[in-house]
Amino acid sequence: MAKVGQRYLEIDPYRLIEKGFHKDKNAVSESLFSLGNEYSGIRGFFEEGCSLPGLVGTYYNGIYEYALEDTPSAYKGVVKRTHFTINSTNYLKVKIIVDGTVLDLANAEIEDFTRVLDMRNGLLERSFTWKVSGAKVRIKFTRLLSMTRPHLAYQGISFNSDKDVSLKIFFHLDGTILHWGKDNYWKADQAFPNELFLRTLTTNQSLLTAQEIVTNASFKEKGVAPKEVYSGYTAIISPNEEVKFERFVSAIASKKGEAYKELAPVAKEDLKIAKKLGLEGLLKENAEFFEEHYAKSDIVIDGDETDQQGIRFCIFQMLSAYHGLEGDNNIGAKGLTGEAYSGHAFWDSETYCLPYYLFNDQKAAKNLLMFRYLTLKEAKERAIDLDCEGACFPIATRNGKEACTLWQHASTQLQPTSAVAYAIYHYMNLYNDEAFMKNYGAELLGEIAKFLYSRGSYNASNTHFGYYGVMGPDEFQLMVAHNTYTNLMGKKSMEYALSVLNNPKYGTKELLKKLGLDEAKLSKIKKACDDMLILYNPETKLFEQHQGYFDLPHIDVDKIPMEEFPLYSHWTYDRIYRNDMIKQPDVLMFLFLYNQDYSDEIIKANYEFYEPRCIHESSLSPSIHSILASQIGKDQEALNFFGFATRLDLDDYNRNTREGLHMTSIAAAWMNIVYGFLGLRSDRPILKVKPTLPERWNHYGVNLTYHGLPVRFDVYADHFEVEVKGGSIELAYLNQVYVIESKRSFPR
């Protein structure tokens, strides 16, 4: 791991602080200072505009469009038209003119620039002094997204000056923003001086943005265009007098395409409430929201302030991206902070993101699973596209349909489907939610089993079952046979489905009839599970990543020059596939997911074989290596891999934070501490821990919710403590199960 960070923010346990304007980091800061409340997200761009490279971005969870043109393909099963979350109305836009000069920080003379994001309440503040017309004009910007009233946003702007200057300021609702800097996906519907109502081009979704402005300045003028409206004000900024503006915004995105007349009364009521609450009231509600969630999920690190800030930033962003607001939402790879990955959700939602919510918010965890149930119809249609039965969940999606136009990923990667089965298994381990299983989970598992059975095949001699022409989690190996991750997860998924469907509580006659499953078909699925080929050598304790992997030409990944990264940009596509180099954990991934099925000796053998072959071209990769290294006693390696986990974006290790935050990597940083250093394992009904203490920490504390109860772990050099409130839990430690009723200490 030769990556080096580029730190420019101050270290603080609860705040991001930028002192001095770092022009070369403008786009990076836009991502880092993003705000979100799951319903919507807005990048930390300058509301007054700036001619430096950057991205003005406002996004809504579930508001999306299709590409304007097909990706040409004559082949069945290849996605021809992708879809993506779109850039939407900029409701923070202002134009500021002082004595005839337009403010643009790219060329303005400024001093005392400070920007602060408070992760205790989501308040973003920015201030600086602008030297203009011989005066020093102090400007302060404030913005906030409500975490509990998702439509509401607040913007505050104040001006002070040491000399009289004239101010003109225009507040815009701008629907002309270009997505990917190329196309606008909105059509005008209705526009008024303080309201803008737009519709998407083809999905017919709607967005009403309404504003009210409170100020001590004088109204100047208003303007109405099809996709942009504004209100203008004038004032004289005099010494010892403050000119202040407050903009209250209600932004209502309708996935169903509701009409203006249906949304306008809601917006009117929103603005009434917002004005009554004011900034102080909105801040109070946000502070209570974060206090409640931190009480359930915060991690306290004593001994390293950079790690403390890093993990708290990760938790703040997880809550901002998703907290179970709506069942048809999901977590895009960039959350709502940028346009890379098109707002798509991947299999990372179930394998990397879900654990965080499982251990702090059952509703959020359940709703993440409900997204898959609500898009089951689309998954079944995708299976038919691939000449299969059941449900095939997409590799990339926003609306449940496959959005990836690259056949080698969309048609050969089965891990999204097996990840859904694993997620249901994982959820039931913690909550035993029989109602969920009866109403949703059993049907999902049945359709998954049908797909995984129909996608697999027996070999020519009919002796073993498996998957041919697949790509596993390691995306550097294409169209392989018997990828062990795929085979094993297929086997586990079908076995779990059979256990549920054979349970009369869930596998009712009505459900089996709906699924088209009878005893004969269930028997065939069971036989396929029994006959599944798992490439394992008991003498070496190694799993072969796929059939023929051990015979591939070897490449020493440490000898690849740094200037050749990222490889996709510097190596021909086919060259990447012609050796044993691994992009991200594959065998190691299932050893993590079903960890307690394997001994430390097996994990150690496979870790030592596959880790040197992994290039970590995915930001998700280091965390899994760190977790397993910690498990097998390679403490320094675990710490090395963890080194940039919490600060991947904060310090821009991959030089791409400008594109948006790495949400699933942020979730992986949480896993790195909880599953790595705390040694938590949740792949069986009884929770297991085996804590270690990183050498640069004095102590750390982890808050979790387990079986609905608050649980606190505190790990010290020679012991750790477990505290449970409101009941008791079973906890496995060093091969013994303990009942924890209040607080207990264990030697390490």
Q: Is residue 403 part of a domain?
A: yes
Q: Is residue 428 part of a domain?
A: yes
Separation CA 544–CA 676 (nearest Å): 25
Is the pLDDT reported for residue 72 higher than 50? Answer: yes
Q: Is residue 19 part of a domain?
A: no
Domain check: are 95 and 47 in the same one? yes
Mean pLDDT of 608-631: 94
Mean pLDDT of 397-426: 97
Contact 85, 341 (CB under 8 A): no
Domain check: are 379 and 280 in the same one? no
pLDDT band at 1 (very low <50, low <70, confident <90, very high): very low
Separation CA 156–CA 561 (nearest Å): 49
Domain check: are 706 and 675 in the same one? no
Is the pLDDT reported for residue 697 higher than 90? Answer: yes
Nearest in space to 130 (alpha carbons), one of 29, 21, 12, 216: 21
Contact 452, 390 (CB under 8 A): yes
List pLDDT tens digits, range 294-306: 999 999 999 999 9
Domain check: are 359 and 491 in the same one? yes
Is the pLDDT reported for residue 613 higher than 60? Answer: yes
Domain check: are 107 and 147 in the same one? yes
The per-residue pLDDT of the chain, averaged, comes to 96
User: What's the domain count of the chain?
Assistant: 3
Could you tell me the strand order of the sheet in which 35-36 lies?
Answer: 35-36, 40-42, 58-60
Q: Is residue 89 part of a domain?
A: yes
List pLDDT tens digits, range 9-27: 999 999 999 999 999 999 9
Helix (H) or strand (E) holding 431: helix 415-431
Domain check: are 671 and 737 in the same one? no
708, amino acid identity = G
Domain check: are 401 and 266 in the same one? no
Domain check: are 431 and 530 in the same one? yes
Mean pLDDT of 309-338: 96
pLDDT (0 to 100) of residue 2: 54
Nearest in space to 321 (alpha carbons), one of 56, 31, 117, 124: 31
Domain check: are 272 and 323 in the same one? no
Is the pLDDT reported for residue 641 higher than 70? Answer: yes
Domain check: are 665 and 695 in the same one? no
- Token readout for 350 is 């179930």
Q: Is residue 1 part of a domain?
A: no
Is the pLDDT reported for residue 480 higher than 50? Answer: yes
List pLDDT tens digits, range 653-686: 878 899 999 999 999 999 999 999 999 999 999 9
pLDDT (0 to 100) of residue 584: 95
CATH assignment of the domain containing 271: 2.70.98.40
Mean pLDDT of 285-302: 97
Domain check: are 346 and 263 in the same one? no
How many helices (DSSP H) and strands (DSSP E) are in the chain? 21, 31
Phi/psi region, residue 215 (left: phi>0; alpha: psi -120 to 50; beta: rest), is: beta
CATH assignment of the domain containing 739: 2.60.420.10
pLDDT band at 369 (very low <50, low <70, confident <90, very high): very high
pLDDT band at 734 (very low <50, low <70, confident <90, very high): very high
Is the pLDDT reported for residue 4 higher than 80? Answer: no
Beta strand pairing call for 123-132 and 206-215: unpaired
Of 685, 701, 718, the domain-final residue: 685
Nearest in space to 702 (alpha carbons), one of 688, 717, 723: 723
What distances in angstroms separate CA 454 from CA 77, 298, 391, 572, one per listed residue? 16, 43, 10, 34
Separation CA 448–CA 453 (nearest Å): 9
Helix (H) or strand (E) holding 301: strand 299-302
Mean pLDDT of 255-262: 97
Distance of CA 631 to the CA centre of its chain: 26
pLDDT band at 54 (very low <50, low <70, confident <90, very high): very high
Residue 81 makes CB contacts below 8 A (sequence gap 6+) with: 66, 67, 69, 70, 71
Separation CA 356–CA 399 (nearest Å): 23
Q: Is residue 674 part of a domain?
A: yes
List pLDDT tens digits, range 544-562: 999 999 999 999 999 998 8
Mean pLDDT of 592-597: 98
Of 296, 323, 352, the domain-final residue: 296
Mean pLDDT of 447-473: 98
- Computed on alpha carbons and rounded to an integer, the radius of gyration of the chain in Å comes to 27
List pLDDT tens digits, range 509-555: 999 999 999 999 999 999 999 999 999 999 999 999 999 999 999 99
Separation CA 48–CA 45 (nearest Å): 9
pLDDT (0 to 100) of residue 3: 61
How many residues are given for the chain?
748
Domain check: are 187 and 333 in the same one? no
Is the pLDDT reported for residue 5 higher than 80? Answer: no
Q: Is residue 10 part of a domain?
A: no
Q: Is residue 5 part of a domain?
A: no
Reduce the DSSP state of residue 215 to 3 states and report it.
strand
Domain encompassing residue 731: 686-748
Q: Please, how many CA atoms are within 13 Å of residue 596, restricted to the half-sphere of its CB?
A: 17
pLDDT (0 to 100) of residue 279: 98
Of 245, 267, 296, the domain-final residue: 296
Contact 104, 50 (CB under 8 A): yes
Report helix angle 362-374 to 415-431, nearest 10: 140
